[in-house]
């Protein structure tokens, strides 16, 4: 019986929804984020705002929400020449992957989260990766996550469970999941306080939240919100 979890929590829509689900399932939930020199570093401040608002708006979850961790992963930015870590335009590469792909990012995130979970005696790693509405990132695939779960469990001699609540749902369903978990207050919190935009834009406010409205992350979030609202 799993009773504790650590959520890979960036402060975006997906990880906030995952955090809400973890808080609805587990007795103790901690959070972890990574500073890897991302252009949208504003997300690291947004995530603190989200945590504050969750505690204030959902008192039945507040008591379960434990320590928050921020890990310095600057080395990832040093080895990643991508549009998330360099001031370059978004485009598709010859490999067929977008240049927003940061090689090894999720593999490193899960490894460090597992090391932290080992020390903190947490059983479940929760991550918002998704194979349905994704950009082709190979480290978001279900097979990758299953392989990581096996490798981390063997390598640390501790049976970890990696939970991926969003793996098989699209962005509209992610909005619906948030609605199911926390109703309109959680949807409003995600709109107002989470950050998804790759350019770190917190000036332009849309029905679905803040962002440039043109980067891949904004477009995906906007389309999902539109389908969610259309379905009522």
- Go through the domains of the chain in sequence order and give each one's CATH number: 4-196 (3.40.50.620)
This model's pTM is above 0.75: yes
- Those residues with Cβ within 8 angstroms of residue 129's Cβ, 6 or more apart along the chain or in another chain: 106, 137, 139, 140, 145, 164, 166, 167
Exposed, middle or buried by CB within 10 Å (0-12, 13-18, 19+), for 93? exposed
Degrees, nearest 5: CA angle 206-212-214 = 105
Full pLDDT tens readout for the chain, 232 residues: 899 999 999 999 999 999 999 999 999 999 999 988 765 578 888 999 999 999 999 999 999 999 999 998 887 766 665 444 445 444 445 555 455 556 778 899 999 999 999 999 999 999 999 987 656 688 889 999 999 999 999 999 999 999 999 999 999 999 999 999 999 999 999 999 999 898 889 999 999 999 999 988 899 999 999 999 998 7
Residue 29 CA to residue 185 CA, distance in Å, equals 20
């Amino acid at each position: 019986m799993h009773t504790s979890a650590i959520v890979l929590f960036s402060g975006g829509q997906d990880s906030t929804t995952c955090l809400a689900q973890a808080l609805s399932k587990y007795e103790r939930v901690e959070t972890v984020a990574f500073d890897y020199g991302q252009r949208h570093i504003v997300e690291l401040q947004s995530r603190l705002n989200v945590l504050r608002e969750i505690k204030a708006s959902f008192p039945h979850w507040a008591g379960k929400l434990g320590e928050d961790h921020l890990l310095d992963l600057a080395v990832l930015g040093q080895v990643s020449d991508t549009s998330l870590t360099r001031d370059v335009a978004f485009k598709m590469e010859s490999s067929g992957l977008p240049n927003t792909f940061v090689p090894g990012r999720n593999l490193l995130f899960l490894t460090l989260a597992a090391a932290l979970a080992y020390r903190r005696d947490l059983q479940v790693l929760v991550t918002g990766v998704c194979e349905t509405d994704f950009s082709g990132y190979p480290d978001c695939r279900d097979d990758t996550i299953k392989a990581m779960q096996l490798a981390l469990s063997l390598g640390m001699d501790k049976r970890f469970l990696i939970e991926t609540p969003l793996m098989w749902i699209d962005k509209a369903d992610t909005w619906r999941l948030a609605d199911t978990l926390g109703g309109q207050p959680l949807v409003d919190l995600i709109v107002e306080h989470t950050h998804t935009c790759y350019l770190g834009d917190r000036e332009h406010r849309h029905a679905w939240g803040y962002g440039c409205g043109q980067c891949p992350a904004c477009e995906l979030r906007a389309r999902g919100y539109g389908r969610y609202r259309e379905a009522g």
